[in-house]
Structure 1
């Protein structure tokens, strides 16, 4: 027996398919106002975590509201755009007032070349987009045109109405895709800058500062921003990057100086020799003394 929802086999999160029965003329898209009571299905409460198998684009005219996408919280306000892709888990804010326009689209509604050109399945792109004033105006105009065509099902036969919708939707999505890719590139440039500043700070202070939070505070970034920047640049965590630099310096001192092992520990920020030996062993699978003996 078919139902309007599916159970995800791996995590139990409910998956809701595109509600084609709610769209004008049964086409594979919908567009209309947001609202606190809006649901994809009658049994899909907005404030519960759920997964969808279609695209959702929310263009906000008010805010702020907080929206969870794949377990990250995003705060959207007037002018922002939130793009949720098929398979992503999300949740609306229970108390949030969602105001603006909601666009939903069924996979397969657009031809393959359009899907590729618009990056519909670029899951690496950020869900939350913040267009500047000209970009926001262009998106609003394109979306308003799409909405007018969507609601006008009387002046064209169904096949032509669907074709017009595909063309209008493509125009809107091309603008949105350009915004998404340019936003991602700007974020990458910012991440590069963040990582460069972090790397310089670690090089300067690794002998005395081993805390990720201390570096984040000193640089004026949130811990989360720092984690993302370092992971994007190196594939590892900030803590891993710091520890690697500490271990490198300890190895240099053990191999190329005659400092007592306790003094080596002090030089890299471990006043207690036992803590230094434990740290060194955790990261090298050998003791400081054994490493020094191997290098001599």
Structure 2
């Protein structure tokens, strides 16, 4: 896999950043097929004025549309869509262009933050105004080179502080949504596990995508939604086997398995024991105590 360096030669005055229009391919794409998977050693921030556009970052697909922002950090693997048209403005920058205190304050290496940002209209207006001013300064060749670079660093810092605040706020909002989604899922499973073992059915009932549900449950428990459902079913089956004299088939039916053979297979997969063996072992142990 190719790692593409920052194309300094394309920058105005050779500075460590660029601002360009995305539909001008020569201004912002490195010399490589953009639709192939590659790694970059610089930052890319894309502001979309149209969409949708599907873009892969670290093997996850993101769909961006007008008003959305994608922030790709150094070292991340990504791929441009070969079919979608990219429209908007792009900022690229070398990691070393800004001093370390600014790098830390702006969270340039916060890989835990989401790449896809969806700013509110007022946030987007403020970011675009700051980006417009940055582009104006970037294209101003009247200044001496040293002063040009100094002005750009100050303007870029102001822009990145706004962007970093948006990224951190988006991450916090995403965590809150994930917590809420998991809580609703957990409650729905508690009500419906005896008849509903389908992840897609729970996602539909909660009006979220299956992918969103997977992320929320994994963030809260480290499990998949299917694993969470199965654990709850097994727990209930164990309770019934331990505390009732229901036949195995009736226990299976009580947790959503009308066919006793399917229930026994499911139970064995998750416990390495048949339901009958579990019940016998539990009761023999209780008698010995």
TM-score > 0.5, shorter chain as reference: yes
SS in 1 for 2:47: strand
1:173 aligns with 2:146: no
- Of 99, 102, 105, the residue aligned with 1:111 is 99
Determine which structure has the larger helix proportion and give its number: 2
Moved over 4 A (4+): none
Which 5+ residue runs of structure 2 have no aligned equivalent? 284-289
Partner deviation per Cα, 1:46-97 (whole Å, 9 max, x = no partner): 2222211110001122223222222222222222111111122222222322
Aligned equivalents of 1:72, 1:115: Cα separation in 2: 26
Aligned residue in 2 for 1:80: 68
1:25 aligns with 2:22: no
Partner deviation per Cα, 1:1-46 (whole Å, 9 max, x = no partner): xxxxxxxxxxxx221111111112221111111116345333x122
Contact 1:142 1:172 in 2 (8 A): yes
- Of 191, 215, 228, the residue aligned with 1:241 is 228
Structure 1 window deviating more from structure 2 (246-255 vs 65-74): it is 65-74
Structure 1 window deviating more from structure 2 (172-181 vs 120-129): it is 120-129
Contact 1:49 1:91 in 2 (8 A): yes
Number of matched pairs: 282
1:102 aligns with 2:90: yes
Aligned equivalents of 1:253, 1:111: Cα separation in 2: 64
Which 5+ residue runs of structure 1 have no aligned equivalent? 1-12
Aligned residue in 1 for 2:81: 93
Give the Å deviation of 1:201.
1.0
Aligned residue in 2 for 1:63: 51
SS in 1 for 2:132: helix
TM-score, normalization by structure 1: 0.91
Partner deviation per Cα, 1:198-228 (whole Å, 9 max, x = no partner): 1111101101111111111222221111111
Contact 1:16 1:53 in 2 (8 A): yes
Aligned equivalents of 1:282, 1:113: Cα separation in 2: 53
SS in 2 for 1:101: strand
* Cα root mean square deviation, aligned: 1.5
Aligned residue in 1 for 2:287: none
TM-score, normalization by structure 2: 0.93
1:295 aligns with 2:289: no
Aligned residue in 2 for 1:229: 216
1:186 aligns with 2:173: yes
Contact 1:110 1:166 in 2 (8 A): yes
SS in 2 for 1:115: helix
1:210 aligns with 2:197: yes
Aligned residue in 2 for 1:199: 186
1:52 aligns with 2:40: yes
Aligned equivalents of 1:133, 1:276: Cα separation in 2: 53
Aligned equivalents of 1:199, 1:152: Cα separation in 2: 56
